[in-house]
Amino acid sequence: MINIFHSVVIKLRALKDGIYDFYPVQKIHSFFLGLIRESDEQMSKQLHDEHKEKSFTVSSFLGKDIGRSIEIQKGGYYFIRLTILDEEVFNAMMSSLLEKNVLRGNVRIGNIDYSITEIFFDNESSKWASHISAEDLLKSSYTSNLIGLRFYTPTLFRSGDLHCKQPIPEKVFTSLFKKFNRYSEEKIDEDIKKRFKNITIHEKKTQSRRVTLRNFYLEGFIGDVTFKVPEQDKQLIRVANTLADFAFYAGVGYKTTMGLGQVQRIPVE
C-alpha cells in the first residue's frame, strides 16, 4: 500500500461561548484520539501508549496566540489542523470525521461544543492543508543548498532529561529523518545521518517561546531559520530538501502531538 502523508484542516463553528484559559492542544489531542476510538478502539489505545515517533500531529486553533487565553464566541468559526503519516490511521480518522460532518453531529473540545462545517484537504482551500506521497517527496526538484524553514510553534529537542531549545541543524534533520524512515515505504540511506552534522545555520531570526502543559511548561524557539548544506554534497542537498518538505507533515522535535514544532518551508531570498 502506497503511504500518503496528509495535512487536514477542520473548520469548526462554535455552538456556545467559552474560553480556554489554558493551552487547548491537550483537548484537541483528546478530540483526535476520540475520533480514532470511534473507528478502532485498539488503534486509539496504541497511538496513546506509543513512545516512538508517532504518526500524527495536532495543532492549536490556527491563527490564535498559544501564549494567551482563547475566547470562543458562539457562531464563530475556528480552525484546527491534524497531520497523519499512516494511511490506516488516516482512514480511521476520516471515517469518524465524515460521519460527523454528514450527519451534522457535534464534537466537543474541552467543555465547548462545535459543529464541523468543512474539511480541507489541499492547499487551494487552506495553506495548512495538503497531501503527498513519499515517492513524490523523494522526487523533489529542489537543488539549492540553502533551505528555509519557519517554525510557527515552540520547537525543542529532548535528550534524556535535558531539552535543547536551539535550531541545531543535526537535531532538526535527524528528527525528520527518523519519522520519514519509519512511515515511508521508501527509505533514505541510514549512512547519510552522519553527514547532518555538516549542515550549518546560514541565517536565523528566532526567539524563545513557552507553553504550559498541565503543571509544567516547555520552552522552545519560533521564527525563521535558513540552513546551509555543503555545495559539493549533492546527495545531502537532495535528502535535506526532501526532509524540509516532509517537515510540513511530520513536525519537528519534541511533543509534536501537542502542537509543538509546527513548520512550513519558506523561500530563501
Does 257 lie in the same domain as 211?
Answer: yes
| pLDDT > 90: percent of the chain | 77
| All three cell numbers of 200 | 550549518
pLDDT of residue 1 exceeding 70: no
pLDDT tens-place string over residues 166-178? 999 999 999 999 9
Closest CA to 59 of 44, 46, 70, 75: 70
Look up the CATH number of the domain holding residue 80. Answer: 3.30.70.1890
pLDDT tens-place string over residues 38-51? 989 999 988 988 77
Does 218 lie in the same domain as 100?
Answer: no
User: What span, in angstroms and rounded, lies between the C-alpha atoms of 69 and 147?
Assistant: 34
Does 144 lie in the same domain as 123?
Answer: no
pLDDT of residue 18 exceeding 80: yes
**Helices within 59-168 (DSSP H only):** 87-102, 134-138
Q: Give the count of alpha carbons within 13 A of 250, CB side only.
A: 27
| pLDDT > 70: percent of the chain | 98
Distances 98 to 41, 101, 103, 166 between C-alpha atoms, Å? 18, 5, 8, 40
Task: Name the domain boundary from 77, 102, 131.
Answer: 131
Structural domain including 106 reads: 4-131
Task: Name the domain boundary from 131, 155, 180.
Answer: 131
| All three cell numbers of 83 | 497531520
**Helices within 59-210 (DSSP H only):** 87-102, 134-138, 169-183
pLDDT tens-place string over residues 185-211? 999 999 999 999 999 999 999 999 988
Does 145 lie in the same domain as 126?
Answer: no
Task: Name the domain boundary from 86, 109, 131.
Answer: 131
Measured CA angle at 220 (ends 89, 81), to 5 deg: 30
**What pLDDT was estimated at residue 102?**
64
In the chain, how many domains are there?
Answer: 2
Look up the CATH number of the domain holding residue 233. Answer: 3.30.70.1900
Does 187 lie in the same domain as 206?
Answer: yes
Does 64 lie in the same domain as 9?
Answer: yes
Question: E-assigned strands of the chain?
Answer: 4-14, 18-20, 56-58, 70-72, 77-84, 106-109, 112-120, 130-133, 146-155, 157-159, 162-164, 200-213, 216-228, 263-266
Does 194 lie in the same domain as 76?
Answer: no
